[in-house]
Amino acid sequence: MPTFVYEALNESGKTQKGQVTASSSEDAIARVRSQGFFPTSVREQKVKKGKKGKAPTGDSTSNTGETKKSLNLSITIGGVSNKLVTAFTRQLSTLQDAGLPILRSLSILEQQQRPGLFKQIIQGVHGDVSNGTTLSDAMSTRPKAFDKLYCKMITAGEVGGVLDVILSRLAEFMEKAQKLKAKIIGAMIYPAVVITVACVIVLGIMLFIVPSFEKIFDDFDSKMPALTVFLISSSKWLGGRLYPDQVLPGAVYVIVSPIFFILFLKMARKTTIGLAIIDNITLKLPVLGQLVAKTTIARFTRTLGTLINAGVPILDAITITRETTGNYVYNKALGAVHDSVRQGESFAEPLGKANICDPIMVNMIDVGEETGDLDKMMTRIADNYEEDVDILVTGLVSMLEPLMVVFLGLIVGFIVISLFLPMVALIQTMM
């Protein structure tokens, strides 16, 4: 039988190293557990090939097959959608709760996946775990699907021997995050579609309808009102007829400018200064600033509460939460919180000094620290803020509808008045 080298944690949390002889990696893990240790890494001891180059017998043949399986992965670009990872986490939690071995669970989920990057990632995780690597280590080498938050929680579940419970909490956390994101995106679809269609209609009027009136006005051979001159000049610019040397029609700039603006914002957010400026300005915008602030608070409180509840050390939990806030202002505030906690001081005090959270939230965190229920208090705060986000989104959509009607009315009214003013002037001269 092959020999396996293991690293494990004893009851006091100290690292233990040793060797066991077993028929397979699963058998080796079971033997390590029977000694009262929690295995963090179990690997088969490599055996040198013989003179004829024969592969070692036993489980090494199957391991080689798994290795080849992993090496045959095709090169892909991009990451894995959160929706896929969320569904995988919920299914893995269900299988673990039913008592299936982790390798059997991964094999089942691998077969359910459609061909693509995520299926390849699960195959790689399955191969690594079958070779003795822990699930968290196998996932941590695949950041396109499993981020640092995910891997830390899996590690906590493995160390505490409650992987099924942690997977269930992680699935619940991800499902709530997906639900909140879907609500915001769903609420913004209607205004975005209406604005896009309205802009296309107005652009069509400027490019095809106004030039027809321009020819009629030229036949009048009379002085046109300033509004009409401005409208016709705008139509010529959009159609590329305003200047003899105009390179591109203005309509091209109108269509392309939002794309360039979005790209500029993304590039600016890659730099620390740009990120700080954009996030500070965003938080000061009316309505939208409140929506971003409450969404960010709901995300980081739920993340922090989930990590603490999973048994992740408080400093590690704060560090991971900082990296997942997605906002420079809150990232900086959590950095101050991290320094305060590391020095043995309060969690709530630096958060209150940053002036980014409501006093009620700061007081709730303070009470959570005093009572030792910080994780539960964080979860309650997240629930409250998610309800506030729902109310804000509903209010924002209700406010956008009349604003869009007024805005479109002003544009259409301006076009109609500009086109009919010369006709009114001509009728008056004829009378």
DSSP 82-112: HHHHHHHHHHHHHHHHTT--HHHHHHHHHHH
The Cα 328–Cα 144 span in angstroms is 23
The Cα 41–Cα 62 span in angstroms is 19
Same domain, 244 and 358: yes
Residue 372 per-residue DSSP state? T
Whole domain around residue 233: which residue ranges? 162-431
Mean pLDDT of 295-319: 85
Name the domain boundary from 98, 116, 146. 146
- pLDDT at residue 308 above 60? yes
Please give the residue that has the higher pLDDT: either 76 or 212.
212
Distance set, CA 289 to CA 102, 284, 351, 389 (Å): 44, 5, 19, 12
**End-to-end Cα distance, the chain:** 111
- pLDDT at residue 277 above 90? yes
The Cα 371–Cα 352 span in angstroms is 19
Same domain, 286 and 431: yes
Within a domain: residue 156? Answer: no
Same domain, 40 and 170: no
Mean pLDDT of 108-132: 89
Within a domain: residue 53? Answer: no
Mean pLDDT of 193-222: 84
Same domain, 166 and 133: no
Same domain, 120 and 179: no
Provide the domain count of the chain. 3
Within a domain: residue 281? Answer: yes
Least confident range of 5-9, 154-158, 412-416, 421-425: 5-9
The Cα 325–Cα 308 span in angstroms is 16
- pLDDT at residue 273 above 50? yes
- pLDDT at residue 29 above 50? yes
Best mean pLDDT range from 25-34, 60-69, 124-133, 217-226: 124-133
What is the bridge-based pairing of β-strands 38-44 and 15-21?
unpaired
Same domain, 138 and 167: no
- pLDDT at residue 249 above 90? no
Task: Give the model's confidence band at 281: pLDDT under 50 very low, under 70 low, under 90 confident, else very high.
Answer: very high
pTM: 0.66
Mean pLDDT of 293-302: 88
Please give the residue that has the higher pLDDT: either 10 or 66.
10
Q: For residue range 47-87, list pLDDT tens digits in order.
A: 544 444 444 444 433 444 444 343 444 444 457 888 889 88
What is the bridge-based pairing of β-strands 3-9 and 15-21?
antiparallel
Q: Which of 133, 151, 146, 164 is nearest to 40 (CA)?
A: 133
Mean pLDDT of 403-431: 82
Look over the chain and give the mean of its residue pLDDT values, rounded to a whole number.
Answer: 81
Within a domain: residue 255? Answer: yes
Name the domain boundary from 119, 146, 173. 146
